[in-house]
């Protein structure tokens, strides 16, 4: 057998990395949303499939962070927002450090944790990146919004960054920017996620045209998007008669992936609005087997228990979602893990996992909208209203997973 060249080895390693760190992200300027509030979204793909939310108080600003359920959870954050209304997420880029031989890498989680702890504005983040010792040890698209109308990506390598502003009509005429696993200012022949980028672009641009920018719809057309933009295969059209009619389909290059561990959608504060009005929708776990849960930073360290890190570092909803995911991907030998039994997800009798969860999530969004409409603008009464909603959420999700699937979310 011929020996692999150094180039081939590096190519294979890069391909493996692209398989794992394959996030799909977007952000949108508040100048183009109906309520003036910016949006920041991340469908997170990672090798650590157990994720949870943590409330941090170790910086200038308190913040809620999405973290890995492992020992390093308090050193890295993979997206979140803070009490100043500043929010950040990232996608790996793979093409910002062409020709760079720097060994330092994979510090994106540390950078985002530092930003959440210390930044209130895009300008703060830019200064932080400029002042940090180089090399940074990153190759990323950092997406950032603030409570002052800011919304931008920072295509960032070890030594430089370039700002792509969602408020610039020349680059974002509708205020929308999308990034998967390549930077637009990096090497044009390197990177990943081009098929997912096309799928996200098609779905989100249609949402903009239809003025359908509510969080529930945006989550449904991204993290529940089952169309491959290249092959045009739409798994929602492969509808077996019943859950018993096993029907396996290759599950690759969709926005949700077997490596998807969680989802976050931050609805920021409008320019000039109280930053406490920012909030975040989180899907803790595989998005086809988990439901979205709302979180506000104004309640302090108290968050819905089902998405919060427990003593074992796990979130109970994420664990439950993993249990259901195994029913979708029951084959573990060889390449079997890349094939989904779509009959368990959706079928014509309506007994699929996602079909059972959709009414549950509908009720969560309905009750949340009802609570927000009646909620006082700020103060103790607002906090009490949100805490009461958390209590309902936890009970409703626990009861629903028990009754529908026989799974204890605990």
Per residue in 35-44, pLDDT (tens digit) is 999 999 999 9
Confidence of residue 21 (pLDDT cuts 50, 70, 90): low
- Is the backbone peptide bond immediately before 135 cis, with ω within 30 degrees of 0? yes
Separation CA 373–CA 376 (nearest Å): 9
How far apart are alpha carbons 174 and 167 in whole angstroms?
A: 9
Q: How many helices (H) and strands (E) does the chain have?
A: 9, 15
CA distance 65 to 73: 10
| 290-327 tens-digit pLDDT | 999 999 999 999 999 999 999 999 999 999 999 999 99
386, 298 Cβ separation under 8 angstroms? yes
Mean pLDDT for the chain overall = 94
Determine the Cα–Cα distance for residues 352 and 370; give it in Å rounded to an integer.
28
- pLDDT, one tens digit per residue, over 281-295 is 999 999 999 999 999
Q: Which domains does the chain have, with CATH numbers?
A: 22-405 (3.60.60.10)
Instruction: Name residue 249's beta-bridge partners.
Output: 340
Q: Determine if the pTM surpasses 0.85.
A: yes
Q: Where are the alpha helices (DSSP H) in 337-379?
A: 342-345, 353-374
Instruction: For residues 7 and 43, give the distance between their C-alpha atoms in angstroms, rounded to a whole number.
Output: 31
Work out the end-to-end distance of the chain between its first and last CA atoms, rounded to an integer number of angstroms.
52
């Amino acid at each position: 057998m011929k020996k692999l060249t150094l180039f081939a080895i590096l190519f294979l390693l890069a391909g493996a990395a692209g398989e794992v760190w394959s996030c799909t992200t977007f952000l949108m300027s508040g100048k183009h949303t109906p309520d003036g509030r910016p949006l920041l979204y991340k469908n997170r793909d990672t090798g650590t499939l157990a994720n949870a939310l943590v409330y941090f108080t170790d910086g200038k600003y308190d913040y809620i962070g999405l973290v890995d359920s492992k020992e390093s959870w308090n050193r890295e954050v993979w997206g979140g927002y803070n009490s100043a209304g500043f929010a950040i997420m990232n996608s790996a880029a793979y093409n910002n450090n062409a020709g760079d031989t720097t060994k330092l890498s994979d510090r994106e989680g540390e950078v985002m944790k530092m930003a959440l702890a210390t930044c209130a504005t895009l300008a703060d983040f830019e200064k932080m990146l400029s002042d940090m010792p180089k090399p940074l040890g990153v190759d990323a698209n950092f997406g950032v919004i603030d409570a002052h109308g800011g919304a931008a990506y920072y295509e960032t390598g070890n030594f430089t960054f370039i700002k792509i502003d969602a408020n610039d009509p020349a680059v974002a005429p509708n205020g929308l920017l999308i990034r998967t696993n390549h930077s637009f200012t990096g090497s044009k022949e390197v990177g990943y996620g081009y098929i997912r980028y096309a799928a996200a672009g098609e779905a989100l641009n249609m949402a903009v045209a239809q003025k359908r920018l509510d969080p529930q719809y945006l989550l449904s057309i991204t993290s529940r998007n089952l169309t491959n933009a290249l092959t045009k295969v739409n798994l929602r059209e492969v509808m077996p008669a019943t859950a018993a009619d096993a029907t396996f389909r290759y599950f690759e290059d969709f926005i949700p992936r077997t490596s998807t561990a969680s989802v976050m959608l931050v609805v920021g504060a409008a320019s000039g609005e109280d930053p406490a009005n920012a909030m975040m929708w989180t899907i803790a776990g595989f998005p086809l087997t988990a439901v979205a849960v709302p979180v506000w930073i104004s309640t302090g360290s108290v968050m819905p228990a089902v998405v919060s890190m427990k003593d074992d570092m796990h979130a109970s909803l994420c664990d439950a979602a993993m249990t259901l995911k195994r029913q979708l991907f029951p084959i573990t030998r060889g390449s079997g893990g890349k094939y989904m039994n779509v009959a368990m997800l959706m079928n014509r009798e309506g007994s699929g996992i996602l079909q059972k969860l959709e009414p549950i999530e509908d009720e969560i969004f309905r009750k949340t909208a009802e609570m927000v409409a009646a909620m006082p603008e700020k103060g103790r009464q607002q906090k009490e209203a949100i805490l009461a909603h958390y209590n309902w959420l936890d009970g409703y999700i626990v009861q629903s997973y028990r009754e529908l699937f026989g799974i204890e979310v605990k």
